[in-house]
Chain A
């Protein structure tokens, strides 16, 4: 790739660049790795800053605006800093029927944050999410990579004690 200024790319770690390049090897062109690249950098840094975005865009040879259009389309690419763990609270229909609103509200009250907010200690960010595919154990939510099911407000207290 012919890049006039490599400074931006050097903002990415060698490890990040290597992971992104590995994805590109099974794709027909560099820009097809856009989502993979965003996910890789987010896994290392927690979120996608403007600097990260510009670095990835340069590495893939796409315009910043084009990459930002992609990044902002997907709800699990974070363009703002998030806490150490993201809480994904299901607000879809099966959980709703099983009182899911109460669960999401209990999380909000317990952590004193609303959707889209992060706790002051930077531990948690709360987001609503579409059906997590565990409707036989509704209501459910995820904390980081962990699914919590058959929830009650007591269980919410237990999770976030």
Chain B
């Protein structure tokens, strides 16, 4: 039986895990044992040794990220922010963690804040997650009542206040520096880096932003140790991962599995394989901003390195399946419509280039594509997605499904232009 630390308390049919159930299953034990007792430096060492990598999409080593926070040298605030702005199309994992085990995130944040000496925390959550917002607020109140949060936690010198900030929309808020601007009450426009948030983040103070799933791992690593955590993964990466599958499969869903589980096992065993009458044509491994991969890549372990070597990114680990009866041109057009709409508009290549790409794709899909359109798309991809052409990763991410779509499904793009129509008659099939 594989260990599933992140979801062991989660049973959606039973409803959310309350404080009593959470504590009965070892919850807040790490807070009681560590706060005021463990040396934050040794906790940081444990997290670094555990090889935990960010679960929000970029996969940056968490311990290393934390190590860039300077030692406290004044009495000003230091911040910890949970990125709960889950809005990457095709991603539905953090919702599960927050709705059904909200105390796990709260405990993860307390321990993380202790490690980096943060005194104020925010959970930046998207507006539409009403249930999660309510349950997190209740959990925070309960944790305050037990002195797991607040002043002098468990009798120590450490104090930590935690707030929920409900966002007002826009995908770009998930970009960590845009998120910080939004928390400051500004337009969510990404900042130029450096300085990095660890040094100058929220209101110019040292700040760490971590994904929800990343933070939920912290209590378990502290309780069970780095070696235990490393033993959970199958390949080079450590821990478990919430993997998901959406699209035309028999059992779409989200499962906690050893990190490094193959795409094939996820799709065929956990997601129950493709629906009758459909076969797998390709997939986005971890959300809208990851490159397409195809059937042959299903045998790769879903870990950071393997998927990167195949030319994509594991991203959020929630796969979106392209089946053989869905038009790849239409799918890429849908993705680029999303990215064009969600550009914050600050950098010209992203603001002007993405709507242009979307227009061309819509034209091709509608059967009005012209010779040279594919070349225009390729040229645009270079300008929009080129490293350093824009402030943040929105534009490069937007271009990933476009360039890989053109690579793997080029015949479809060409046929649309040559035949002046889309051969996937959506109405007939659906």
Contact A136 B254 (CB under 8 A): yes
Q: Mark A101-141, 1 if CB is under 8 A from B, else 0.
A: 11000000000000000000000000001111111111000
Contact A93:B185 (CB < 8 A) given known A26-B163, A135-B320: no
Q: Which residues of A contact B244 (CB under 8 A)?
A: 135-136
Residues of chain B contacted by A38 (CB below 8 angstroms): 168
Which of B89, B183, B187 counts the most A-chain CB atoms under 10 A from its CB?
B89
A138 touches B163 (CB 8 A): no
Q: Are A97 and B326 interface neighbours, CB within 8 A?
A: yes
Across the interface, which residues of B come within 8 angstroms of A99, CB to CB? 430
| B44 close to chain A: CB less than 8 A | no
Structural contact, B168 and A131, CB atoms closer than 8 A: no
| Total residues of chain B contacting the partner, CB 8 A | 60
Supposing A93-B288, A135-B92 touch, asked if A74 and B168 sit within 8 A by C-beta, the answer is yes
Identify which of B167, B169, B245, B247 contacts A98 (C-beta below 8 A): B247
Residues on A with beta carbons closer than 8 Å to the beta carbon of B185? 27, 31-36, 70
Q: Can you name the residue of chain A whose Cβ is closest to the Cβ of B126? A: A133
Q: CA A32 – CA B89 in complex, angstroms?
A: 29
Q: Is B31 an interface residue (CB 8 A)?
A: no
Secondary structure at chain A's binding surface: helix, strand, loop or mixed? mixed
Q: Which residue of B lies closest to A137 (CB)?
A: B252
* Distance in angstroms between the alpha carbons of A97 and B334 in the assembled complex: 10
Within 8 A of A (CB), among B168-188: 168-171, 182-188
Residue ID in chain A nearest B247 by CB atoms? A97
* A94 interface hit (Cβ, 8 Å): yes
**What CA separation (Å) do A72 and B289 show in the bound complex?**
25
Which of B91, B341, B342 is close to A135, meaning CB atoms less than 8 Å apart?
B91
A102 and B430 within 8 A (CB): yes
User: In the bound complex, do residue B87 and residue A133 qualify as a contact, i.e. CB atoms below 8 Å apart?
Assistant: yes
- Cβ-closest chain A residue relative to B337: A91
* Nearest-Cβ distance from residue A69 to partner chain B, whole angstroms: 6
Partner of A74, one of B161, B170, B247: B170
The smallest C-beta distance from A64 to any residue of chain B, in angstroms, reads 15
Shortest beta-carbon distance, B120 to chain A, in Å?
Answer: 8
Residue in chain B with minimal CB distance to A88: B128
Chain B residues positioned under 8 Å from A96 (CB to CB): 330-331, 334
For the complex, what is the distance from the CA of A101 to the CA of B344, rounded to whole Å? 25
B248 at the interface (CB under 8 A from A): yes
Mark each residue of chain B from 203 to 239: 1 if its CB lies under 8 Å from any CB of chain A, else 0.
1000000000000000000000000000000000000
A135 and B244 CA atoms in complex are apart in Å by: 9
Q: How far is the CB of A155 from chain B (nearest CB, A)?
A: 16
Q: B320 touches which one: A33, A69, A94, A145 (CB < 8 A)?
A: A94
Distance between A61 CB and nearest chain B CB, rounded to angstroms: 12
A88, B90: Cα distance in complex, Å: 17
Give chain B interface residues in 123-160, CB to chain A under 8 Å: 126-130
A16 to chain B, nearest CB (A): 16
A142 CB-CB contact with B under 8 Å: yes
Q: Whose C-beta in chain A lies nearest to the C-beta of B134?
A: A145
B240 interface hit (Cβ, 8 Å): no
Q: How far is the CB of A40 from chain B (nearest CB, A)?
A: 11
**Contact of B129 (CB < 8 Å), options: A28, A98, A133, A136:** A133
**Residues of the B chain whose Cβ atoms lie less than 8 Å from the Cβ of A137:** 252
Q: Which residues of B contact A145 (CB under 8 A)?
A: 130
The complex places the Cα of A111 from the Cα of B134 at a distance, in Å, of 31
> Given A39-B168, A97-B320, A97-B322, A92 and B90 touching (CB < 8 A)?
yes
Contact with B along A55-82 (1 / 0, CB 8 A): 0000000000000011001111100000
Q: How far is A16 from B424 in the complex, measured between Cα atoms in Å?
A: 53
Neighbouring A residues of B183 by C-beta, 8 Å = 32
A28 to B322, CA, bound (A): 47
- Cβ of A135 and Cβ of B169 under 8 Å apart? no
| Contact call B169/A93, Cβ cutoff below 8 A | no
Asked if B170 contacts A75 (CB within 8 A), the reply is yes
Known interface pairs A94-B246, A96-B331. Does A35 touch B168 (Cβ–Cβ under 8 Å)?
yes
Closest A residue to B284 by CB, please name it.
Answer: A93
Q: How far is the CA of A76 from the CA of B126 in the complex (A)?
A: 10
Residue of B nearest to A94 (CB): B246
| Assembled-state Cα–Cα distance A99/B320 (Å) | 14
The distance in angstroms between the C-alpha atoms of A110 and B223, with both chains bound, is 54
Q: Can you list 26 A-B pairs with a CB-CB distance of less than 8 A?
A: A28-B203, A74-B167, A74-B188, A76-B127, A76-B168, A92-B90, A93-B90, A93-B288, A93-B335, A94-B89, A94-B320, A96-B330, A97-B247, A97-B331, A130-B171, A130-B338, A130-B342, A131-B89, A131-B91, A132-B128, A133-B86, A133-B126, A136-B92, A136-B244, A136-B245, A145-B130
**Contact residues of B with A, CB < 8 Å?**
77, 86-92, 94-95, 120, 126-130, 161, 163, 165-171, 182-188, 203, 244-248, 252-254, 284, 288, 318, 320-323, 326, 330-331, 334-335, 337-338, 341-342, 344, 426, 430
Additional A-B contact list (6), CB under 8 Å, known A76-B168, A93-B90: A26-B161, A38-B168, A73-B170, A88-B128, A94-B90, A132-B128
